[in-house]
Structure formats: C-alpha cells, structure tokens
Structure 1
Amino acid sequence: MSKTSIFAPLKHRPYRMLFTGQLFSDLGTWLDMLALGILVAYTWNMGPAELAALTIVMGLPWVVIGPFAAVWADRLPRKGLMIFCDLLRMLIVLGFVVAPNLYVLLALVFFKELFSAMFDPARQGAIRTLVPEEVLLQASSLSQLSLNVTKVAAPVFGGIIIAASSPSFVFILEAVLFLFSMMFISRLPHMPKAMAEEAAEPGTAKRESVFWKHFKEGLRFIGENRVLATAIILMAVRFFLIFLYDGLLVLWGKEVGLPEEYFGVLLGAVGFGTVLGTLAVGQWNFWSPKPIQMMAVTGAISGIGILILALGSYQVIPSHPALWVTLFFFVGFIGAGSAVPYGYVLQKETPSAIIGRVTGAANSISNLSMFAAPALGAVVAEWIGTGGVFAIAGTGTVLTGLFALLAVRKAEAKREYAGKVDGLHG
C-alpha cells in the first residue's frame, strides 16, 4: 500500500495548473446540463422529441467524431489545443444566450461537445507528459475526482442559479469558467507535439493517408494490449448496464414508495459516495499492481447493490428512505473502485505519443454503449417491469465482474505455467 498522499501531485506546479484548469473546464462542461433542458422544455415550450434530440446531439460527437478528433490531440501541441478548445467553447456557450431557435441551439451544442471531445484526450496526454511516474496514479485519481465532483455538483449549482435567475445567466457563468480554465492552462510549460510530423510530401492524399495511419495506430494499440482492452471493455459494459436502468430511477422510486423530494437526496448520496470512494481508492492504492482485478471485484459488489434495488421494486424487502439513501451511497462509493483503476490503466498502459487516440477511442466505445442502453431499458421495462430491468442490470454487473476475474486468473495461471516450463527447459 502506497503512503503517497492522493494530493501529492499538486506539489508539482505544472500539474497544479493543469488540475485547476481541468476543474474549471469540468465545471463548465456540466454546468449547462439542466439549463439546456429548461430552455428547451420551459422557455420554448417543447416536448420529449426535442429533449431527445438534445440528448442525442450531446453524445453524438463523442461517439462518431471523438476518435478522429483525438488524433489531433496527438498531432498538435497539447497546451495550445486545450486553450483553443476552451476559447471556442467559451464563445459557443455565449451563443446559447442568443440562439433564436432549436436548430441553432443543437448546432451550437454539437460543436461544444466536439471541442470537449478534443479537450479530454489532450488533457490525458498532458497528465502523462507533465506528471512524474511515481505520482501518476495519484494524478489520475485527482483527475477522476474532478470529473466525479463536477458531474454531480455542477448541474445542481446550475439548477440553483436557474431558480434565482435564468438559463442565460448559467451560460454566461459557464463562459467565465472556460475563461478561467484557459488562464490556468496558459501557465503550463511548453509541451512538444506527441508525434513528430512525418516527412512532408505535397498533396492532400498523402496528408490524409498519414491521418488514417495515426488513427488506426490507436485502435491497433488497444487491440494488442490485453490489459488496456480488458479495462475498456469492462467499463463499456458497466456503462451500458448503468444506463439500462438509469432513466427508470423515477419509476423505481414510485414503486418503492419514495416521496419525490428524495430523488435529489439519492443523487446527492451517489455523488458523495463517489467522491469519498475516489479519495479512498486514490489514497489506499494497494490495488495498483492488479487494477483489472480491482475493477472486476468492485463491479461484482456494486452489482449486488443493484440487485437489492430490484428486490425493493418487487416489494421483497421493506422499503425505508434511510435504506435507499445508504444503498445509493454504497453504489457510488464502490463504483469509484472501477473508475479510478480504469483511469490509471489508460495512463499507465499507454505511451504519451498515442494516449490522445487511445482516450478518444475509449470514450467513443463507452458513449456508444450508453447510447443504446436507455431505449433498450425502456422497452424491457414495458415487457417485464422496472424491477426486471434492475435485476438484469445487477445480474449482468455481477457476472461481468466474476467473468473478468476468472479470465485474469486464468491468464495468470497460464503465464506461471509457461514460466515453469521455460525454467525446466532453461
């Protein structure tokens, strides 16, 4: 178990600037989640179809364009690219304020998410470049902490602002956050391009062939690295199973008899559990030699929590608000046991020169799995009920973790056997 504090990377000024810039960027990324929905549904009096379109446009760049955009995160200077993405996102969210209709708003949202999908791989690459190897795990954990905290806190903060003012004020504040992000990232030291330019040859065709070569290198690296591929697949399956039931939480709450005012408490419990779990997993990193096993075990345990939610839906266990708040906290806390090791694997297993492309491909795989899950969950709920969806998700989460654990142990046994055979013949 490492005695290095999770906050140790902040002693290094370059990482401190990067982390602060990321914190402001993450706040800006998530601040408008509620405000955009309020603008469409309440200000413009639109319905489910328009809200669905907004959700799709938010995710589309990460799935379709993110892996291609991530190539540029490895081809361009990372500091300049992050500043460029912050600048354009700042201008785009100011455009939200004056957007005259849904079509313009959707176009602006699309481009904001596109530049977010470019910012993230560049940030991952900057961590790999700036942080000493001995505190890479802690730096990755802090980065995950920023994401987890802002994903929960920023929409809530946005909702408070809307209640006191309007969505437009949220968008203006969001622009200020991206400005602050730019200010801190501009104080980073110069980081050279991750990839040296290939020998320049005239003609667009050559440039395109180089681009596709670099794009395929990222995918090939994932396919050839068993640990990295396993971590990405595990997280993609986990995200799919989470989003299978995520949209049904309101129906689940009605079935267990929770008053509507408890939903905010439940979400807060998940967020608080995730934050504490991230701090704990980042600090007590006994798992660092075997991150896949950590992901598998915590995944299986969190699946048990989801199965208990299914039992509540079927009225098998007595329903009490304190029980559900505690359980949601537990699921969030244990969930960090997968998220933090996953981020560490991305950093540890990937060379700096290609981490942008690997991150972009991993984000695309995860977001693609999330795209299909909510619609499938709704269809299955119509067929076997809300509790059935939670039961499927919980069982799938447990089995995925157990299968991954057995697969890793089998691979370790093979390596040990091969080592013994080599020793006999040596």
Structure 2
Amino acid sequence: MLAILANRTYRHLFAAQVIALLGTGLMTVALGLLAYDLAGANAGAVLGTALAIKMIAYVGVAPVAQAFTDRLPRRSLLVGLDLVRGAVALCLPFVTEIWQIYLLIFGLQAASAAFTPTFQATIPDILPDENDYTRALSLSRLAYDLESLVSPMLAAALLSVIGFHSLFAGTVVGFLASAALVLSVRLPVPRAGPWRGIWDRTTRGMRLYLATPRLRGLLAINLAVAAAGSMVIVNTVVLVKTSFGLAEPQVALALAAFGAGSMVAALALPRVLDKVPDRPVMIAGAGLLVVGTAAGIALGSYGTLLALWLALGFGYSIAQTPSGRLLRRSAHPEDRPAIFAAQFALSHACWLICYPLAGYLGATIGMKGAFAAMAGIGLIGLGLAARVWPAGDPTDIGHDHAGLPPDHPHLAAFGANGGHRHAVVIDDLHHHWPGARRH
C-alpha cells in the first residue's frame, strides 16, 4: 500500500491531508473547551448547533462552490482555500460571543466544502491506475482513523503545558503547512468541458450522479453508513457514562475500538478489491452495519459495546472506502469535481438527517428504540442499494443514438448500425442510462 507514496505529487498531497486533519482535530478539542468556557452547562447545545451548521455548509455550499470554481487552476484554488481556513482558525481564539463561533464555523466549513471535493477529484488524475487509486483510498481512510486517535492524545499532551486557546495555533499551522505542500507540486490540468451557464454548472454534478445506477446505489449505502455511524458518534458517550456508569477514558476507548475496526478494514480492502467487485463488498459492509446496529438492541455490557463498535467500524470502512472508485468510474475527468462535490453534499445530507435523529430518539424513546429505528433506516438504505445498483454493474452496454447524424464523431468511433457498445458514462451524449430511457 505504501508503495504509492513513491509518487512525489501524491506523497505531498497525502502529507497535506494528514497535517490538515491533525490541525482540525486539535481545533475540535479546543472548540469544545471554548464552548464550555462561553456557555458552561449549555456547551453541548452550542456544539450541536455548530455541528448542524457544519453539515448545512457541506450540503449547501459544495455544489455551488464547485460551479463557481470549476475553471480555476486547482493548485491555486486549494492553496487559497487552505489560507482562508487558516485565517478563520486564527480568529477563533479571540471569540467572546457564541454567535461568533457559529459564524466562524460556517466560514471554515464552507471553505472545506469547496476544498475537499476538489482535492478528492485531483487524486484520480494523479494516480490513473485503479489499483494505485484503491490503495490511495485506503490510505486516506487510515489517515482519518488515525487522526481520531492521535489528535485527542496530542491535544491532551499540549494542554498540560499550554492553554486551550493556543491549540487553535496548531490548526493554523496545519492549514499553512497543507497550503505549502500543495504549492510544492504541479497538479494535472484536466481538459475543460464546454462553457455552461451557472445553473447548469451548479446542478450538473447532481444530475450526473442521480442518473447513474451505481451512484444511486452509493447514495443508498451512504444512508446506511450514516444511520449506523450516527449511533456511534452521537450516543457513545451516553451509553458509556449513563448506561454503564463509566468515565471519559472508557468513552475514548469505545471510540478507539470503532476506529480500530475501520483501520483493519482499510488495510485489508486493497487485496479484497483486487479480487472482488465493489458492489458485493460495499453491500456486505452495509449489511454488517445494519446487523450490528440491530444487535445494539441487546447490548448488555461495556465489553459487548467494544466488540460491537469494532464490528461497526469494520463495516463502516468496507461500505464507504471504495466510493471513490465508483465516482472515478462514473465521470469524465472534466466532470469529476462536479460529481465528487455531489457525493460530498449528498452523503452529508444523510448525516444531517441521521445525527439529530439518533440523538433525539436516544433521549426520548431510549437506546433500544434508537438502535431499532436506526437499524430500520440502514435496512432501507441496504434494500435500495441492492435494488437500484444492478448486479454485475455492467459498463459496456449496447445502446443507440437516434438523434445524432450518421457522421457524428461518436458514431464514427463506436459504430452506428443498429447501435453500439462502449463503457457508458452520463454526459452530453448520454443523458440517461441505457435501458432506463432511450436517448
């Protein structure tokens, strides 16, 4: 897996991702302490609102930002967005009012909503070989999981010698280092598509995404992932401290078990995906999430919780990590930023639904009811994925183009007599998936 780090451009971008993640992790710890400093016992409500603002920014900003930035040089765009994020983080230590937290968090996450899909869409251009790209996806998953383990420990060590306001300086340094690493490499410039109006550019990623069967299946899997993941992220602290009467170290250990399961899956996935197609792997991961969430109804001890969280982390990574392969396969290079932005927005829309639902149900009908309800949502996602994502996921599909003139370059390349076959991607010549509607 580490062999792909021999590629200098990818190595620098991966280092930029890791450093920015560590900085963001420090900010998460510092933000919780800042909220408590300003709001006291209401800090949870402040953080919950900040989380909702984050998800709203992700869902609403990503497609619009991509539409306005799709013709900007990628390197300049990524560096500029890192500098914006660093400038916002620099303001956080000087916050004196809760509304200022909300405003700055929206600005920071809006910049991230533009940065992340652009960053993700760049990697397939750097690593065109699918096996290399698969390993890059697993490394990225490992980076996220390691950040969730390392950042709290690093924050705890720093807090023993500095005040929490100084942790925000680590966030600023992280974003500046990320910008420097991106600036140190030359990024490929994808072929620009035809000029389009702003509404067309804003909605293009969503239209391409929702017209592609495998990506509709991915959206359903995103729902199953969010249903299970929200139970872990929102309710771990309640289960550990209220249901089992334990303390903060046991909360951290439970979350570490979830991360460990995800890391094990990320390490194993490249070898699995060399032999097994994406669809059965991802559906199996979603199925494990549904079964694991349902098993939470019978949760009876802390030890069982650790084992269950380990299994859920494993399923979480299996269901989610290969998604970049589907996106890469489902768009031409010039459309990848749009389709990655659509995935970013739609997947976070699933989290925006499931986060508050998991918390509300746990507080009103109890954890057993919450586990049952979220397992039901996951089962809906799993069933939809199996239904809308065709088995075998065919790519070379026979079809015709009744409206094209016989001398059109596309027909000249692939043949026009009674239709032709090639790997189908939704684009200006293929508005609908063959078999769904003739074009």
Secondary structure of 1:94's counterpart equals helix
SS at 2:273 equivalent: coil
**Residue of structure 2 aligned with 1:23, choices 9, 18, 28:** 18
Whether 1:10 and 2:41 are equivalent positions in the alignment is no
Q: Offset of 1:243 from its aligned partner?
A: 1.8
- Give the 3 Å change call, closer, same or farther, for CA 381–104 of structure 1 in structure 2: closer
Q: Which of these residues, 214, 234, 248, is aligned with residue 247 of structure 1?
A: 234
Give distance in 2, aligned partners of 1:211 and 1:234. Answer: 30
Structure 2 residue 83 is matched with structure 1 residue 87: yes
- 2:28 maps to 33
Q: 1:234 aligns with which of 221, 224, 230?
A: 221
1:373 is matched with which residue?
354
Cα pair distance change 1:140/1:352, threshold 3 Å: farther
Structure 1 unaligned runs (5+)?
A: 1-5, 199-208
TM-score (structure 1 length as normaliser): 0.83
Q: Select the residue among 130, 138, 141 that pairs with 2:138.
A: 141
SS at match of 2:184: coil
Change (3 A) 1:128 1:334: same
- Report deviation, 1:180: 1.3
Match of 2:172 in 1: 175
The one-letter code matched in structure 2 to 1:109 is I
The alpha-carbon deviation at position 172 of structure 1 amounts to 0.3
Deviation readout 1:155-186 (Å, 9 max, x if unpaired): 44334433542222111011111111112111
CA drift of 1:31 comes to: 2.5
- Paired position in structure 1 for 2:273: 285
Q: Please list every run of 5 or more consecutive structure 2 residues that lacks an aligned counterpart in the other structure.
A: 400-418, 420-439
Which of 338, 353, 359 is the matching residue for 2:340?
Answer: 359
CA distance in 1, matches of 2:73, 2:102: 29
Taking structure 1 as reference, are residues 46 and 163 closer, same or farther at Cα in structure 2, changes over 3 Å only? farther
Name whichever of 121-130 and 398-407 sits farther off: 398-407
SS in 2 for 1:191: coil
Residue 382 of structure 1: CA displacement? 4.8
Q: Return closer, same or farther for 1:73/1:191 CA change in 2, 3 Å cut-off.
A: farther
> Would the aligned equivalents of 1:302 and 1:398 in 2 still touch at CA under 8 Å?
no
Query: 1:248, CA displacement in angstroms?
Result: 2.5
What SS class does the counterpart of residue 188 from structure 2 fall into?
Answer: coil
For the residues of structure 2 that align with 1:366 and 1:61, how far apart are their CA atoms?
A: 13
1:56 Cα offset (Å)? 2.4
Alignment match of 1:153 (pick from 141, 146, 150): 150
Superposition pairs of residues 253-272 of structure 1, within 5 angstroms: 253-254=240-241, 256-257=243-244, 259-260=246-247, 261-272=249-260
Q: Which amino acid in 2 is paired with 1:145?
A: L
Indicate yes or no: 2:116 matched with 1:120: yes
* Cα separation, partners in 2 of 1:374 and 1:192, compared to 1, 3 Å: closer
CA distance in structure 2 between the partners assigned to 1:384 and 1:328 by the alignment: 22
- The residue type equivalent to 1:143 in the other structure is S
1:165-244 equivalence runs, <5 A: 165-192=162-189, 195=192, 198=195, 210-243=197-230
Letter matched to residue 332 of structure 1: G
* Kept after mapping to 2: 8 A contact 1:78/1:193: no
For residues 5 and 306 of structure 2, what CA distance do their matches in structure 1 show? Answer: 33
| 2:401 is the counterpart of 1:394 | no
Alignment partners' CA distance in 2, 1:283 and 1:162: 40
Query: Which amino acid in structure 2 is aligned with residue 82 of structure 1?
Result: L
When residues 147 and 225 of structure 1 are mapped into structure 2, their CA distance, relative to the original with a 3 A threshold, is: same
SS in 2 for 1:228: helix
- The match for 2:71 is 75
- Quote the Cα distance in structure 1 between the aligned partners of 2:37 and 2:160: 13
Q: Distance in 1 between matches of 2:384 and 2:194?
A: 42
Task: Show the counterpart of 1:342.
Answer: 323
Provide Cα deviations, 1:126-160, integer angstroms capped at 9, x if missing partner.
10221132422222222232233224432443344
Q: What is the alpha-carbon distance in structure 1 between the residues aligned to residue 185 and residue 70 of structure 2? A: 17
Structure 1 window deviating more from structure 2 (14-23 vs 138-147): it is 138-147
Letter in 2 for 1:365: L
Q: Name the CA shift for 1:181/1:219 in 2 (closer, same or farther; >3 Å).
A: same
Q: Specify the code of the residue in structure 1 equivalent to 2:273.
A: N
Secondary structure in structure 2 of the residue aligned to 1:178: helix
Q: Matches of 1:61 and 1:67 in 2, distance apart?
A: 11
Q: Could you tell me which of 260, 263, 271 is aligned with 1:275?
A: 263
Counterpart amino acid of 1:281?
L
Tell me, in whole angstroms, the C-alpha distance in 2 between the residues paired with 1:33 and 1:163: 17
Return the structure number with greater relative CO, CA threshold 8 A, min gap 6: 1
Give the conservation status (yes or no) of the 8 Å contact 1:77–1:191.
Answer: no
- Distance change >3 Å, CA 160–CA 80, structure 1 → 2: same
Tell me if the contact between 1:78 and 1:125 (Cα under 8 Å) persists in the aligned partners: no
CA deviation after TM superposition for structure 1 residue 280, in Å: 1.1
Deviations 1:199-256 (A, max 9, x none): xxxxxxxxxx722221222122112211122112311342144325642233333565
Partner of 1:195, secondary structure, is: coil
Code of the residue aligned with 1:394 in structure 2: it is A
- Alpha-carbon displacement from aligned partner over 1:54-88 (angstroms, at most 9, x marks no partner): 22222221011122112245321111111111111
Q: Match of 2:358, as an amino acid?
A: G
Give the TM-score taking structure 2 as reference length: 0.81
Aligned partners of 1:96 and 1:105 also within 8 Å? yes
Q: How many corresponding residue pairs? A: 396
In the TM superposition, residue 350 of structure 1 has moved relative to its aligned partner by 2.6
Residues 297-350 of structure 1: per-residue CA shift (max 9 Å, x gap): 1111232222222201xx4xxx3x433323222221222111111222122323
Alignment check: 8 A CA contact 1:252 1:387 kept: no
